[in-house]
Amino acid sequence: MQPSIWQILIVAALVLILFGRGRISEMMGDVGKGIKSFKKGITEEDQSPSPTIDSKPAEVASDKSPTQDKTAG
């Protein structure tokens, strides 16, 4: 059972009344921006090099050094 043309027109009129013309066009613009950013993210992911493992040891990455602890005391 498919909706008739009158049912579709009534639903469209109700949506237009509830949201207004400007609000619907704003939402469609947001949907378009989301699709563009999604496509851009997909293409950037394909073009980016494979991730590398950070080669820094844990001791070098820390901010404190053993000499700082002795002089603070």
Of the pLDDT bands very low, low, confident and very high (cuts 50, 70, 90), residue 5 is very high
CB 24 within 8 A of CB 16: yes
Tokens in use for 71?
């002089």
First vs last Cα of the chain: how many Å apart?
A: 83
Alpha-carbon distance 1 to 9, whole Å?
A: 17
> What band does 66 get if pLDDT is binned at 50, 70 and 90?
low
pLDDT over 80 at 39, yes or no: yes
Q: Are 15 and 24 in contact (CB under 8 A)?
A: yes
> For 14-36, what is each residue's pLDDT tens digit?
988 888 878 878 888 999 999 99
Of 5, 27, 29, the residue nearest 16 (C-alpha): 27
